[in-house]
Structure 1
Amino acid sequence: MTLVFGMVPLILIKLIHTSQVQHSTNLGRSPSDNVSTTRIALYKRALSFLSCFSAGVFLATCLLDLLPSVRHNLIKVLFSMSIYTGFPVAEFVMTFGLFIILIVEQIVLSFKESHSAGTRENSDNERQSLLYKSQPDEFTGSHESENSLGGLSDDPCIQSSAQTEEVALEDENSNPRAHSPLRAMLLVCALALHSIFEGLTVGLQHKIGDVLGIFAALVLHKSILSFSLGMNLVQSRISRKSAVKSILVFSIASPMGIAIGLMINDLWNSVSSGLVHGLLQGVASGTFLYIIFFEILPKEFNNGDDRLLKIFFLLIGYSAVTGILFLSDDTKHPFCVISDDAGN
């Protein structure tokens, strides 16, 4: 089911691409042009709304699922080590994870930009002469707009080689969307890590009733997350094959966690395992924050169209995960690390 929900956005983007190709083929025929243009605009609006839905899903997963899990594990570890502090350790680990992702991305982009600077300087004169001879006009310009999704331009047209080179170089160095593949891969890693730990929760259960209850909630949660991941992948500049592989990795992460949990059932309940769990989940939650506030929301809300509807879908995504979390045992049985006979 996780794989199926993850593939839905890829199917949607393929439909958009097909409509855009038909639009280009039928260019000059007034009736079909109007129909194709309207259809493409509707597809893109729908994808924009679904992208906001995915942002709400990621936000709720980060703040209502991951962060409490991090706090739960780290408090247990500190308590077992007789360390009592009011310092927000879980929140610190989460922001530390965000800074790690930010630093890694900026280092990668710095090397990439320094490497491409020399190549661009050598080709500037030639490109300027070519562009001077063939400038795109208002109706045949091929630059990707801010509303373009999944690498699809708003204006179906055929690019010349000079225009293609200019767009590629300009987008690589000035368009923030050109940086999204790295962020998409970081999101896949964070989601896969989160899924492994959730699978561990299922594998470590001893009662069949507990296993079935947690598994049902896990399937619902993962289906929504998989759809949201697919939405993020189709709006990045990775190939369709890479997107399918990423969804496959995410789909098998939970079964891997279940298998690991079954194998290490007796070894997991220890201080070191709780520390590893808390730290890795904290870094993953920081990755979620980075993707939400540096990638998805700025891109969607920088465009002034349908602002209130986008907020509505953001709230729907947040509410969907919130409702699913009420099915978990952690919500039904509040966690308290300090027992009644403790001296504190």
Structure 2
Amino acid sequence: MVTATVLQYILAFAMFVVTAAIGIVPLFIVRVMKRSQNESEQGYLSYLTCFAGGVFLATCFLDIIPHINEGYEELMETYDLNWHFAYPQFVTCCGFFFIYFIEEFTTFVFGNGQQPGHGHSHSLNKGNKITTTSDGRLSPGMPKERKGSVNITNLRMEEASTWVVSDEKSNILKSLTFAVAMSFHSLLEGFALGVQDSKGRIYALFFSLLLHKGVEAFSVGLQISMANSNKVKTVLATILIYSLMAPLGSIMGSILQNSETNIYKDCAILLLESLAAGTFIYVTFIEIMASEKSNDFNHLKQLLWIIIGFALVTTMQVFFGHEHGGEHAHGGAEGNGTEHGHQHHHHGR
């Protein structure tokens, strides 16, 4: 007879395999589409990215932030605190500014003092725009050489390639920073599975988590693949690390179920999750939406795909987000702080 703990380990491994497989799929889609000069296919890639943006938007505001607020309330109740300042929201904003600073700083360092803008096109000279695809090729819209303007055009091409190279160098760090925040979120999600002590609850939570993680893994894979489509090993390594986090969180939750807790541990978990929320907001609005809005594809279609991604996660939160609310007694974990781990399906009230 399989014990609850062994079952958790088996399901944790299954979650890793499924999440990794779904996360790797976008890499092949991106590589095929980026090889194509067909503008409509490049457009589909933009709409897919917008879909991922909608997924992150809903994940942040309907999943992470409500859970942070709930954890903050529980922290104050558990330790009889009387704080009147919105510390979680403050830390979330600090997370946003921190990621913003890291990105601009690395871009400045790698770009030798030049700071290329976001988006798929960089205006290098008033009235003359050179567009580059995200893998560094100059787009067909590049101005043609004319007699007497050879040197100017060559100079523009050199400028464009310099900006693209600096963008590519900073892309790796951006992707890794993003993956770390996403991974921490996954780690906390896995905690919920780890602290369950009955097989029925474990199965129910596993399948609803798997559905949620599947959509999230595709969006994460897409975002990382878009930034580093030429660096297959980097993309695969990042996705595998991300996929490992939820199972790891599950195992940690299982181990921590009977561990002693204190205010420092609970505050640290809340602090890190609030920082992760700030990263989500930055990636959603600056990296994805602002970037896609600056290109020339159909903006109404982009909006539609953002709404589709948002609606998908919203639907999952409505139907699966609070299904297990009454069941989260956490067995022997009551008062040990693991309830701050991630009551992924507890904040639907």
TM class by smaller structure: 0.7 to 0.9
Structure 2 segments unaligned to the other structure (5+ residues): 1-17, 116-127, 143-153, 329-349
How has the CA–CA distance of structure 1 residues 319 and 261 changed in structure 2, closer, same or farther, with 3 Å as cutoff? same
- 2:167 is equivalent to residue 155 of structure 1: no
Identity %: 26
How has the CA–CA distance of structure 1 residues 89 and 170 changed in structure 2, closer, same or farther, with 3 Å as cutoff? closer
- For the 8 Å contact 2:106–2:170, the answer to whether it is kept is no
Partner of 2:273 in structure 1?
281
User: CA deviation digits over 1:148-194, x for unaligned, max 9?
Assistant: 2444543399xxx9987543313356x6x774433222110011111
Q: 1:170 aligns with which of 160, 163, 178?
A: 163
How has the CA–CA distance of structure 1 residues 92 and 115 changed in structure 2, closer, same or farther, with 3 Å as cutoff? closer
- 2:223 is equivalent to residue 232 of structure 1: yes
Count the aligned residue pairs.
287
Q: Please identify the structure whose Cα radius of gyration is greater.
A: 1
Partner of 1:329 in structure 2?
322
Partner of 1:35 in structure 2?
none
Q: Secondary structure at the match of 1:10?
A: helix
Cα distance in structure 1, aligned partners of 2:46 and 2:227:
13
TM-score, length basis structure 2: 0.73
- 1:213, distance to aligned residue in structure 2 (A): 1.5
Partner of 1:186 in structure 2?
177
Cα distance in structure 2, aligned partners of 1:303 and 1:115:
25
- 2:276 is equivalent to residue 290 of structure 1: no
- 1:299, distance to aligned residue in structure 2 (A): 1.2
Partner of 1:79 in structure 2?
77
Q: Secondary structure at the match of 1:235?
A: helix
Partner of 2:32 in structure 1?
15
User: Is 258-267 or 180-189 further displaced after alignment?
Assistant: 180-189
Cα distance in structure 2, aligned partners of 1:197 and 1:287:
15
Cα distance in structure 1, aligned partners of 2:40 and 2:260:
50
TM-score, length basis structure 1: 0.74
User: CA deviation digits over 1:18-63, x for unaligned, max 9?
Assistant: 545xxxxxxxxxxxxxxxxxxx222211111110010011111111
Partner of 1:305 in structure 2?
297
- 1:269, distance to aligned residue in structure 2 (A): 5.7
Partner of 1:200 in structure 2?
191
- 1:281, distance to aligned residue in structure 2 (A): 0.7
Partner of 1:126 in structure 2?
none
Partner of 2:106 in structure 1?
108
- 1:81, distance to aligned residue in structure 2 (A): 2.6
- Return the letter of the residue paired with 1:229: V
How has the CA–CA distance of structure 1 residues 154 and 315 changed in structure 2, closer, same or farther, with 3 Å as cutoff? same
- 1:74, distance to aligned residue in structure 2 (A): 1.8
- For the 8 Å contact 1:196–1:257, the answer to whether it is kept is yes
- For the 8 Å contact 1:71–1:278, the answer to whether it is kept is no
Partner of 2:55 in structure 1?
57
Partner of 1:218 in structure 2?
209
- 1:246, distance to aligned residue in structure 2 (A): 0.8
- For the 8 Å contact 1:190–1:287, the answer to whether it is kept is yes
- For the 8 Å contact 2:194–2:250, the answer to whether it is kept is yes
User: CA deviation digits over 1:287-326, x for unaligned, max 9?
Assistant: 0111112111111111243111111110111111111223
